[in-house]
Structure 1
Amino acid sequence: MVVRVVAWVALAAWVWLALCQGGFWRTGQRLPPRRTPARWPSVAVVVPARDEADVLPSTLPSLLAQRYPGAARVILVDDGSGDGTAAVAERLAREQPGLPLTVTSPPPVPPGWTGKLWALAHGVTVAGEVDHLLLTDADIAHDPESLVALVEAAGERDLVSQMALLRTRTGWERLIVPAFVYFFAMLYPFRRVNRPRARTAAAAGGCCLVRRDALERAGGVAAIRGAIIDDVALGTAIKRSGGRIWLGLAEHARSLRPYPTLRSLWQMISRSAYTQLRHSPLLLAGTVAGLALVFLAPPALTVAGALLRDELVWAPAAAAWLVMALTFVPMLRHHRQPVAAAALLPVTATLYLLMTVDSAVRHWRGRGATWKGRSYPG
């Protein structure tokens, strides 16, 4: 009887998720309708970069080559790199004419700040009095019309953010990366983020166009200075201060950051998973139980019910598994992956469950989040 109840509860959960969780599984949230502005606003592109010498030759030229009718410049903030990032950036600017490039370095990181946000704040200061800031990561490559598309789509919005298309070349990337965006959208349904009156707020840090005055009204970068998940914190700060925000999937930006092994993907996800749960053991327990019920129980009970020939177990469990797979199909198509891979979502969810637990264990051991050679206690 307990097993039957679990199977039917899992099915009910998936029906609710599919119908009532903001259409999180839909991938139609692309840039809003574009309108050419009467006056092209000035834009500063701020790129915090730490040990990015390897990827910059593939990404920085795409920013310098932006075909933008208004005043625009690129500011690369060398965040204490030890691999010659600044020298590589300056060489690329000399080799390719385009938008002017400023390479700068911030003072030492003060207490209470993450390194990336301190570099970002320094870049915003160097930018001066511009209308918009495009905050983008060093691993993001932009199409030549990316900046124009963002500005035209922004309209009266204060923040326009796009989830860059992530790399899916290796087997591990193909298994884990589409689910990463899928789970993010499940937590922060894009359609709810984009509703002015909805409380849900988020952004995608790889590509954020923000009005300078809206950022100042929200307290500047200093308002989120200690955030590990800085993009969600930025979107929340802008929306809470009365700003209009928009989040969707990118059409003109893609990440070139390679995650060729399970270890590299594990580190990327586990570094912030427990932070997402506000370091709460109660939320961790609920998350583990929820993932087990929603993602693991349907395939397990489908097999068990079939072996036991109990239709009241395998039928609802199989239906739940089917709904799960169907909601994953649009994200797989967005990443140009085979639809059949949707059946493997429970496997990926199991890995995410283990990554989340590992993130909590790291926190309890006092290791905190680690990224680019820096550790944070949070």
Structure 2
Amino acid sequence: MTLLSWTAVLSLLAWAWLLLGQGLFWRTDVRLPRRGEPGRWPDVAVVVPARDEAGVLPDSLPSLLAQAYPGRAQVFLVDDGSSDDTAGTARALAARAGDGALPLTVSSPGEPPPGWTGKLWALRHGIGQAHAAGAAYLLLTDADIAHRPGSLRELVAAAETGGYDLVSQMARLRTATGWERLVVPAFVYFFAQLYPFRWVNRAGGRTAAAAGGCVLLRADTARRAGIPEAVRGALIDDVSVARAVKRAGGRIWLGLAERVDSVRPYPRLAGLWRMVSRSAYAQLRHSPLLLAAVVAGLALVYLVPPLVLAAELLGGAPATAVAGALAWAVMAGTYLPVLRYYGQPPWAAALLPFTAGLYLLMTVDSAVRHHRGKGAAWKGRTYA
């Protein structure tokens, strides 16, 4: 066997493992548990960190204010040093919300001190307000996340009746433009591959993750886990929060959303590129060795199958071509459920190697930016 043949076989074996041994990550049936309603609805504080979000708040904040929750709930929007009129926009939207809307408090803690990211500093301020208000649950949700009617009620019911300390839903991201349709479903697919939802939700399991756009957290568990102080410098704050909860003995649940949507537009590749590259190298703990391993792994798993198939069809060994074709077929088959979740055509599964190549370049770019001293740049701030 040639080196090319061995590479094709290794790629096929890798896909056999991913298909069966990685927590069935490719399935999209992990949805919010639907059980009965609690006997008593606990108080909830919704905490929204917001920096330069005046453009998206009209599409997201009214959905929170309009939540019909049987218990007591209020919204704390924390303006994280915005250069636009984020605070004024939020107040104007609350004034137009009318009777029956959840009460809104808008505040600003000022610039974060050294050792804190801006978002977590804002969350610290909002969580402090929530504790002072006596909230039993904290809904940590981003400013670009819209909640459909019943979202808050279903989240609390799932946590209360299921005995969870943290319930998180991965918001359905926008797929309105061509680049969004190409990149966004793959983002969810790769996240689930790194953190299989079934492993995350397994009692006593070590895998921990959350989706930062929508995290419902018990207030007493937040105190016990030291959140957010315990994760104050984390760039990937959602995963860090979930790990802190599990370390404190809490139970967590993570799945795909049905009533939670991201309204942030990414009309061009550059915006999606920044979204991925700002934290990709942090995910690898800024390790050159891990970076090299990930680049090699992505190439073997996603790029080798189509390249081998093309090379062998031009005059190579039929058996090698078959191995490449089978690996590509398994790859596409595991991608189909995510494409269906996002309403995309099945033929788009064949494009996954190209999209994976983009993610490979984004990861390398993240490392290059870090070593150039630019760190993770986001909305005018750069973290080393």
The aligned residue for residue 119 of structure 1 is: 122
Q: 1:110 aligns with which of 102, 113, 130?
A: 113
Is 1:16 aligned to residue 5 of structure 2? no
Deviation digits for residues 313-351 of structure 1 (CA, Å, limit 9, x no counterpart): 100110000000000000001111111100000000000
Task: Provide the C-alpha distance between the structure 2 equivalents of 1:115 and 1:159, rounded to a whole number of angstroms.
Answer: 22
**C-alpha deviation, 1:309, in angstroms:** 4.1
Tell me if the contact between 2:144 and 2:264 (Cα under 8 Å) persists in the aligned partners: yes
Map 1:165-314 → 2, pairs under 5 A: 165-314=172-321
Unaligned runs of 5+ in 2: none
Which whole-Å CA distance do the structure 1 matches of 2:349 and 2:292 have between them?
26
The answer (yes or no) to whether the contact 1:34–1:149 under 8 Å persists in 2 is no
Read off the aligned partner of 1:88 and give its amino acid letter: T
RMSD: 0.7
Give, in angstroms, the shift of residue 311 of structure 1: 1.1
The equivalent residue for 1:346 is: 353
Q: Tell me, yes or no, if the aligned pair for 2:81 and 2:110 is still in contact at 8 Å.
A: no
For 2:82, the equivalent position in structure 1 comes to 81
Number of equivalenced pairs:
377
What do the CA deviations read for 1:122-155 (whole angstroms, capped 9, x no partner)?
A: 0001112210000000000001100000011112
Structure 1 position 108, deviation (Å): 2.7
Tell me how far apart the structure 2 counterparts of residues 140 and 112 of structure 1 sit (CA, whole Å). 27
Identity %: 65
Question: Which whole-Å CA distance do the structure 1 matches of 2:35 and 2:346 have between them?
Answer: 31
Runs of 4+ more than 2 Å apart: none
Query: Shift in Å at residue 312 of structure 1?
Result: 1.8
Alignment match, 1:151 = 156
C-alpha contact 2:80 2:110 (8 A) present in aligned 1: no
Q: Please tell me whether the aligned partners of residues 22 and 193 of structure 2 are also in contact (alpha carbons under 8 angstroms).
A: yes
- Paired with 1:150 and 1:296, the residues of 2 have a C-alpha distance of 39
What is the SS of the residue equivalent to 2:207?
coil
Describe how 1:307-346 pairs up with structure 2 within 5 A: 307-346=314-353
* Partner of residue 45, structure 1: 46
C-alpha deviation, 1:216, in angstroms = 0.7
Alignment partner, residue 360 of structure 1: 367
Residue 5 of structure 1: how far off its partner (Å): 0.5
The match for 2:169 is 162
For 1:26 and 1:240, locate their aligned partners in 2 and report how far apart those are by CA, in whole Å. Answer: 27
1:298·1:317 contact (CA, 8 Å) conserved in 2?
yes
Residue range with higher mean Cα deviation, 29-38 or 55-64: 29-38
Instruction: State the Cα deviation string for residues 285-321 of structure 1 (Å, max 9, x = none).
Output: 0000000000000000011111114112100110000
> C-alpha separation between the residues in 1 aligned to 2:90 and 2:242?
29
Q: Distance in 2 between matches of 1:108 and 1:2?
A: 55
Per the alignment, in what secondary structure is the counterpart of residue 48 of structure 1?
A: strand
Per-residue displacement from partner, 1:47-105 (whole Å, max 9, x unpaired)? 00001001101110000000001000000001111111100110111111200000011
TM-score by length of 1: 0.99
Q: TM-score, length-normalised on structure 2?
A: 0.97
Gaps of 5+ in 1: none
Residue equivalent to 2:136: 131
Q: Which amino acid aligns with 2:311?
A: A
